[in-house]
Structure 1
């Protein structure tokens, strides 16, 4: 319930009989309600539905993808509010980026949307640029495309594209499903040191879609495009398990 409390706290309110729908006390958890058609009240006060909003954000390094940190480090939600996100929304990130990584990430208060986009079977493509201490070799690229075993998990890339950028060694890596520290672990497996890692694409969204901003609210059409890319990934041939 928007502005009332966390999900667990709201469940306690429901069990206590403090929530009414169309004037009737609801004490059963999981009861379905349509806020656009039904009147929801908490302690006699009407609860307005929270507007669903999804943001495309450019996460800087040194920011945690969590809502709170016991060590007091800056979080993505705090950063997003400073960047212009609605402070009244209960936002959380769709997927994660490492503390030391940067780039595109989605923030939303739409739990159903987040689950659909983050579900492993959808395999929405995410593209990264990695700066390393040396260029990747052809043999290493072939191994990453085939998949490597690391700490009981299979890590695989859909594509690895080395780039020529003068003295700096960089490559673009595309993933279908991301594991914890997926790219860093994959590159470190071959002794490569990652100097910098940046996500540059999520599905069909790129840096250009930020339109020069650090954070931008997506339109309904853009959100629909993300869902379409998720469905398209599901319909296609999925990558091998554990990539």
Structure 2
């Protein structure tokens, strides 16, 4: 029973946990009248349920939530982080057909990587876990390596620790360090917790740099390491459990 005395959980949360879609996408499905309990159309994502018995989406019964699964995928550049692209460009799901192990089921990307950005992309079957990983409030660190052309000093990079405002958009704390430099080319490592759209590229361009390659090498405690490009590996349940506890979330 909830603290307010009402029983059950919101249907949007239950459907997300069952891997139907992210909670935000489930809420849109409900608004569009695609979710039913029996023959009755659900009209609000705040509907409380103890379980998903009798619930259907687009006329298909929803299965009970499975155990949370998490996969690390080395996304190559040149793929869209979406199920389909109106322009017809290849998506991550094109590569995932061969990268994921048999029986992986439906998975959703945790956050996004731009078309030209490569590296670690986490995938999960649990929409609630996806939301937990993405929320700025949980402050999960994303770590990137950027190859950039231009002139910048370590002192300039260290100023990013205070955040920066670019064209009215405020970007929070970024921990940036020069890895190595050859002439006007350099590799820079950056760690941040917000993950706003194109954040790393915009911040480095603001410093007068031209980014030629961007790789995400870490997301929370999960690292890209030596995972070959275009392949995926499942993260052991024990690691997921430890990570959830570190966030103060219930397993």
Query: What is the TM-score with the length of structure 2 in the denominator?
Result: 0.73
| Structure 2 residue corresponding to 1:182, chosen from 192, 195, 199 | 199
| Structure 2 residue corresponding to 1:59, chosen from 75, 95, 100 | 75
Report the CA distance between 1:127 and its aligned residue.
0.7
Distance in 1, matches of 2:105 and 2:238, equals 20
Look up the match of 1:108.
124
Look up the match of 1:201.
218
Residue 14 (str. 1) matches residue 36 (str. 2): yes
Look up the match of 1:98.
114
SS, match of residue 114 in structure 2: coil
RMSD: 3.5
| Structure 1 residue corresponding to 2:49, chosen from 32, 43, 59 | 32
Look up the match of 1:236.
none
- 1:78-157 superposed matches below 5 A: 78-85=94-101, 89-134=105-150, 136-157=152-173
Look up the match of 1:49.
64
- 1:16-45 per-residue CA deviation (whole Å, 9 max, x = no partner) reads x348xxxxxx9786342436xxx5586xx9
CA contact (8 A) 2:113 2:121 kept: yes
Unaligned runs of 5+ in 1: 20-25, 233-243
Look up the match of 1:224.
241
Unaligned runs of 5+ in 2: 1-14
Distance in 1, matches of 2:61 and 2:149, equals 58
Report the CA distance between 1:190 and its aligned residue.
1.3
CA contact (8 A) 2:142 2:191 kept: yes
The count of corresponding residues between Structure 1 and Structure 2 is 221
CA contact (8 A) 2:174 2:190 kept: yes
- 1:62-82 per-residue CA deviation (whole Å, 9 max, x = no partner) reads 111112211111122332223
Look up the match of 1:241.
none
Query: What is the TM-score with the length of structure 1 in the denominator?
Result: 0.75
Look up the match of 1:23.
none
SS, match of residue 14 in structure 1: strand
